Structure 1
Amino acid sequence: MSTAPPASSPLSPPAPPRPRLDGEKPRLAADPVVRSLGVLIFVNATGNGLFLAVSTIWFTRGLGYSTGRVGLALTLAGLCGVLAAYPAGRAADRYGARRVLAVLHVFQAAAMAGFAFAGTYPAFILLACAVTAGSRANAAVRSTLYAHSLPAATRTPALGLLRAVNNAGIGAGAALGAGVTAFGHHGAYQAAILANALTFLLALLPLRAVPTAPPITEKPVTDRPGGSRHPGDFGPTTRRPGALRDRPYLAVTALNAIVNMLYVVLEVALPLWLVGHTSAPAPLVGVLLVLNTVLVVALQVRASRGVSELPAAAQAFRLGGLLTALACVTAAAAAHRAPAVATVILLTAVLLLTLGEVTSQAGSWTLGYALAPDHAQGAYQGVFQTGISVTQALGPVVVTALVLPHGTAGWLALGAVFGAAALALPPTARRAARHRPAC
């Protein structure tokens, strides 16, 4: 594990003392690093929640673009996002995660602010691509920052806490967005877009307090007997295959990406299924999303406990994937039911989906970090995030073209895919652990 830079570094403050692990459960919420990261995430997530609540209405009514043109722009933007994570992770390895993240926040603020004044469709497409690429790059670099600033023994529980904070921020932002949409004034929508842009800049303040490792430019060889080193251990002749050629890690990344499509199920498949194929009331769509948000806030920390080692992480991921598969089977049963019955079934499906989400995510975090070499966490996190970006870009097409048109059979097939990925993960992770590159 890379450590924080020494106190003399001009880029990073001294690393705070780590929580004790000998017999006393660390109080993660009291850790200065976790607090700083929590403030950063809450500020940014509040802006994101605000944007999610107003963006569709602003794009269609404020800027005047049809839903088809907005959909095309967002599809192209999703493809741009696929290409952004890996180079951003490599940059974090080379220049330092905190420095790269600060640059990304400024870039994202500028791109987001442009949405308030996107007067032409080509400009709108370019801005959508910039915002999405920035978001995916941000995810890779932030993951690298976590690797450098949070100790491995408490990283997964800390990420559980931070994810709960993230969902709370999105909920707060969405509530603000509901007020904007109720007011409905053109200027209010513009102000909301600009407020989201401002949150990227405000998040730079807590980022300054987060320690990070210095850039790593050389990879030591530590696989000699006793871990000994000598000057010849450094240099191009000692390099291991990079993240893009680490096939066991790529296999884990692919399985993780498949299970991460559960977010597409929640945000796209279930709402369309509810409205078009069940008799449940349409307002239930909002209730299902709120239920998911509340449950993640309530359950993610608990689900992340005891998942800091690879065997436990693989088991958690498998359980989460199987719960997600069961949620698909449950959702399929909502068709051709009375409204009250369909409502209960869909609420149950979201409960199962959320349990699968918090459990699989806890396992995913440990897998993504523990199977990567410490000297190249940025590149490996970039690969891991690229897999997620692919499912986010292609997932909506998959569920709308291959799942929903086939009704119950489509849902059962999707559940089978989730289940197969969940069951394949533990042996794949064991193989990746055996072939993990030297640190």
Structure 2
Amino acid sequence: MKSRLVEKGPARTLVLGTLANSLGNGVFVTCSALYFTRIAGFTPAQLGLGLSIAGIAGLFAGVPFGHLADRRGPRGTAAALLVLAGLATAAYLLTDAYPLFIVFAFLYALFDRGAYAARQALIPAVLDGANLVRVRAKIRVVTNVGVSAGAALGGLALLWDTGTAYRLTFLLNALSFVACGLVFLRLPAVPPAPRRPPGEPRLAVLRDTPYALLAVLNMVMQLHIPILEVILPLWIALHTGAPHALTAVLLLLNTLACVGLQVPVTKRIDELRSAVRAFRVAGVALLGCCAAFALSSGRGPWAATVILVVAAALHVYGEMVQSAGSWVIGYELAPPTRQGQYQGLFNTGIAAVQMFGPVSLTLLLIDWGTPGWLTLGAVFLAGGLAMAPAVRWAERRRAGSAQAAPAPVTAT
């Protein structure tokens, strides 16, 4: 990688804080399900229900906590919510009662997603436009590195396989949230947004239809997330003759590609025109990915392996360019003084895909097979092509709002 991963100043602080938090998240994701079922004593059905209820909190946390970041300043809001998420993680260890588990899971999802929204408002507040997308790409790289390293540490806890080992992973995740919050407090102070003009709604983003459309299209394109995490192992086992171990190989290749190529790919996507083009490219690449998956159905070990490697390569390229394009569009078309609530809405798609994507794609792809893959590919292509007129609509709305808006009222 030509550019240094860790820079100086605010960029370095953002990257290091994210690395600490993603390391803890990787440990937690690896071990949490076994802790809750084997140590806390919940059934898989209870665990799934509790996490689904918590997912509702994550789904609706972004906009109000993003608004709070606008009003109170994103640095302090992000730090406070990260510490609260860490406390919620530690609270898991204090109970084996199912109702309390649901409460703590709800609070964890609420603070975690709220902190994510505040963090997205903090990034443009401490970086200039030339650095924003590049640093956002580096944040994604260190997220992959941290989660992978955390998963390796979690693997050691799985080998140890004791209550003490699992509890240590929870404490490590809790400390990672607190460490991230403390690191972010080293960033420059960011003043609160000016008081909203008379007549402007408190949550203006909820009435910004063009921006909401951008968020929906971005969510549609993020349906690529469950493909490798959930669908790939099921598809290999049930529809192809490829070895089951290929799942681990392709997941590793995806991580390595993101770590090595995300920053170079992002260098070419730095303004709205190139971001729109990135969505078109992502739509075509993800269509090709889906077509390759469909073609692998019923193939023998060697043919299926080759085709699935091609599918994974198209997937990771589409994933990288879509991510880079979304950062530009999400930031550029949001009002500078309302980044918190706007980023909260724009990134709600991640929570929605994580909540509904596995079930819907399992029904579409695993149960329906080849027609399902071709349908999903058409959806990706349509989403990628639709981003251009949606961006033009949002630009016209933003230009009109700028002309009609009165002077902002300074907060006292």
Q: TM-score scaled to structure 2, two decimals?
A: 0.92
Shift of 1:241: 8.5
Name stretches of at least 5 consecutive residues in structure 2 with no aligned partner.
406-412
Match of 2:188 among 207, 211, 236: 211
Q: Secondary structure at the match of 2:190?
A: coil
Matched, 1:85 2:62: yes
Corresponding residue number in structure 2 for 1:140: 117
Please report how far the alpha carbon of residue 128 of structure 1 lies from its aligned counterpart in structure 2 after TM superposition.
Answer: 2.0
Matches within 5 A, 1:261-280: 261-280=223-242
Report the Cα offset of residue 382 of structure 1. 1.1
Does residue 70 (structure 1) correspond to residue 41 (structure 2)? The answer is no
Over residues 401-427 of structure 1, what are the superposed CA-to-partner deviations in whole Å (9 max), with x where a residue is unaligned? Answer: 233210111111111111110111111
Partner of 1:61: 38
Structure 2 Cα separation of the partners of residues 147 and 389 of structure 1: 22
Mapped partners of 2:365, 2:283: distance in 1: 18
1:124-203 mapped onto 2 (5 Å cutoff): 124-203=101-180
Equivalent residue number for residue 408 of structure 1 = 370
Structure 1: state its 5+ residue gaps: 1-24, 220-234
Q: Is the Cα contact below 8 Å between 2:79 and 2:185 reproduced in 1? A: no
1:98-137 per-residue CA deviation (whole Å, 9 max, x = no partner) reads 1111111111111111223430222222222222222221
Q: 1:159 to 1:245 in 2, by over 3 A?
A: same
Superposed CA deviations along residues 360-408 of structure 1, whole A, max 9, x for unmatched, are: 0000000000001111111111111223322221111211223321011
Confirm or deny that 1:256 pairs with 2:218.
Answer: yes
SS in 2 for 1:435: helix
Amino acid at match of 2:376: L
**Cα distance change on mapping 1:241 and 1:209 into 2, 3 Å:** closer
Asked if 2 retains the 8 angstrom alpha-carbon contact of 1:145 and 1:212, the reply is: no
Q: Distance in 1 between matches of 2:62 and 2:189?
A: 19
Question: What CA deviation, in whole Å up to 9, does each residue of 1:211-258 have, x standing for no partner?
Answer: 242001325xxxxxxxxxxxxxxx405779911111111111100011
Q: How far is the alpha carbon of 1:287 from its aligned partner?
A: 2.2
Aligned counterparts of 1:420 and 1:237: Cα–Cα separation in 2: 37
Encode CA deviations 1:151-173: one digit per residue, 9 max, x unaligned.
11221111111111111111111
How far did 1:41 drift?
A: 0.5
Counterpart position of 2:384: 422
Comparing 198-207 with 38-47, which one deviates more in the overlay? 198-207
**In the alignment, does 2:360 pair up with 1:360?**
no
Map of 1:227 onto structure 2: none
The aligned runs of 1:26-41 (5 Å cut-off) are 29-41=6-18
Residue 205 of structure 1 and its aligned partner are, at CA, apart by: 3.0
Matching of residue 389 in structure 1 with residue 351 in structure 2: yes
Deviation at 1:37, TM superposition (A): 0.8
* Cα distance, 1:68–1:162 mapped onto 2, change above 3 Å: same
Letter aligned with residue 403 of structure 1? L
Residues 361, 188 of structure 1: alpha-carbon distance in 2 compared, 3 angstrom cutoff = same
Structure 1 counterpart of 2:72:
95
Separation in structure 1 between the aligned mates of residue 200 and residue 80 of structure 2, nearest angstrom: 32
Q: Assess, with a 3 A threshold, how the Cα gap between structure 1 residues 275 and 128 changes in structure 2: closer, same or farther.
A: farther
> Larger helix proportion, structure 1 or 2?
2
SS of alignment partner, residue 84 of structure 1? helix
The yes-or-no answer on 1:108 pairing with 2:85 is yes
Change (3 A) 1:131 1:322: farther
Are 1:369 and 2:331 matched, yes or no? yes
Give TM-score scaled by structure 1 length: 0.87
Q: CA 1:374 to 1:236, structure 2 compared with 1: closer, same or farther past 3 Å? A: same
Q: Distance in 2 between matches of 1:212 and 1:242?
A: 25
Alignment partners' CA distance in 2, 1:262 and 1:212:
36
Q: Which amino acid aligns with 1:196?
A: N
Contact kept in structure 2, 1:317 and 1:362, CA below 8 Å: no
